[in-house]
Amino acid sequence: MAFAIITAILFAFSAVFNTRITKLLDEISANFYRLLIACVILGCLTAVFHPGSFHPHASLWLALSGMIGFGIGDIALFAALSRIGSRLTILIIFSLSAIVGACSDYLFLSDPIGLWECGAIILILGGLAIALLSSEGPELRQGSFRVGIIAALLAGIGQGIGVSISRHAEIIAESSGVTINGLSQAFQRVSAGLLCLALVWMWKRTRGKLSQAKSTRCTIAKWLILAAISGPVLGVSCLQQSLKTLTSGEAMAVTATSPLLLIPLAYLFEGERIRPLSLFGACLGVGGVIVMALVRS
């Protein structure tokens, strides 16, 4: 449970850093370089601290999880952000990923969620919806709104299924007596996602569809490193570690409180006013996390 809460905090800061990056680079390049840096850091840490945390069968499932969650999911995420804005994108993705993850666990892993856990998830997602839809802030809307909605739905489905598949990989490894630490799981997933994203990046580069950088390399590198460490490196590692004690639906529901943490961050860093209804929604979401923590304990 603690790892899921830490994941939500890290993802909140990652969202702030990702927003800065997308203002300096095009979306594909920003995501590609972010995952590339994360892959190098995770690879070095895994080689030093967990060199034996690989399993032939389980690692293939982790790679598939990364291709779906980071490859397809992240590409769809950035496509949705530029069309329907961050608030609606985040709402769709976090809500859908929690539901899809729970259903996937039930259908393929025979791991149902109890009644109290379901109530906590509903409370978290309800608070998320109230907080995000009632908060103020400029939203960027370009291109087709319908395409943006579809992209957000694909991203939510991809993240939910990706997390559930990684739980399947964990079960396979444990049945063989192999322990795959969350850090190693993150490395294997991010590596596979990077491969998918690299193909898209190379295709767009050869066709000249990548825009020029809008700042110095030093500034861009700073934000890329912060985004990589807070998101794919530490955030995903903690998420994978949380799946050792939580189901996919529970983990994604707790992680869904990440956008609620963005409300005070937006107030501190961007001067965005906090509305009472947004604060009420945030309290509901945090209350749902408390209920789940009490149930799990």
| pLDDT 10s digits, 249-294 | 778 777 877 777 766 766 666 566 667 777 787 778 777 767 766 6
Check whether 154 has a pLDDT greater than 80.
Answer: yes
Domain that holds residue 146: 2-296
pLDDT at 141: 47
pLDDT at 135: 56
Q: How far apart are CA 54 and CA 288, in angstroms?
A: 35
Check whether 209 has a pLDDT greater than 50.
Answer: yes
- Backbone phi and psi for residue 179, each to the nearest 5 degrees, phi listed first: -100, 120
pLDDT in tens, 25-45: 887 888 899 999 999 999 999
Q: Higher confidence at residue 222 or residue 284? A: 222
pLDDT in tens, 159-175: 889 988 998 998 898 88
Residue range 187-211: average pLDDT? 89
- Measured in whole angstroms, the distance separating CA 47 from the mean position of its chain's CA atoms is 24
Check whether 192 has a pLDDT greater than 90.
Answer: yes
pLDDT at 62: 93
Q: How far is CA 173 from CA 23, 32, 59, 61, in A?
A: 41, 29, 9, 10
Q: Running DSSP on this structure, what letter comes out for residue 70? A: I
- Please tell me the total count of domains within the chain: 1
Q: Higher confidence at residue 213 or residue 289? A: 213
Q: Report whether 25 contacts 33 (CB < 8 A).
A: yes
User: pTM for the full model?
Assistant: 0.80
Residue range 190-198: average pLDDT? 92
> Helices in 229-257 by DSSP H: which ranges?
234-242, 248-255
Residue range 13-20: average pLDDT? 78
Question: Cβ of 58: how many Cβ atoms within 10 Å?
Answer: 24
Q: Tokens standing for 131? A: 């907080």
Mean pLDDT of the chain: 81
Q: How far apart are CA 34 and CA 254, in angstroms?
A: 24
